Amino acid sequence: MSLKLKDKVAVITDATSGMALATAKLFVEEGAYVYITGRRQEQLDQAVKEIGSNVTGVQGDAGNFEDLDRLFERVKADHGHIDVLYTSAGIGHWGIGIDTITPEEYTRVFDVNVRGTIFTVQKALPLLNKGASIIMTGSIAGVKGLPGMGVYSASKAALRSFARTWTLELEPQKIRVNVISPGSIDTATFDGVPQETRDIFISKIPMGRFGESEEIASTALFLASADSSYITGAEIFVDGGLAQV
């Protein structure tokens, strides 16, 4: 069986844990050389160790322009191009409604989720090969009304909109742009959440369970590879049916 990402170069932001780390591992298994980022050097070093080979960790914050420049300068010096860009960096919030949202909280969420994604893509453009794949991390929150999560939900809806626009803007380079929108995935986000709360979440999921990080990774592999050669401008939900029925 041939490797789906043989000799490809991939960049995955904020890939020190959870879904993005699982994706980095799978990409390497499928033949890619992967660059990952993380804000904390210790966690980044541990992720690189877990991935094991064909990986470079570049410390940095996806919302910091100098860090992004340093990341892509490193990729340019080492390989000169990018075949897959997976913008995974993001932050959320809970329990902050229209009556309590502050300008500072709005800026915090939009700076990372929207501004950070826009300029990660923009700064990567000179390195993206013809036919490259851009993958962004959305959320079911982008299509659902979730009290206390309005700003986060809006930030993810913005990424869905950019995918449509960038699909047309990048068509001359045959660059595909797609969004993966996870539902409830069993990551550190749910660490410490009481079992009764987890059970409430699970009761709303048609498939009756949380998703696994590896299920996000396999979807990212699909979008990164030639298997999805006729898919662009799309949002793929990996949510056990939660936002679909």
Catalytic residues: 152
Contact 44, 118 (CB under 8 A): no
> Which of helix, strand or coil describes residue 14?
coil
Contact 95, 139 (CB under 8 A): no
Q: How many CB atoms lie within 10 A of CB 161?
A: 11
CA distance 236 to 215: 12
Integer angstrom CA distances of residue 13 from 3, 35, 174, 207:
23, 8, 22, 29
- DSSP strands (E only) in 88-238: 128-137, 176-182, 235-238
Handedness of CA 100, 136, 23, 142 (dihedral sign): positive
Pairing of the two strands 82-87 and 128-137: parallel
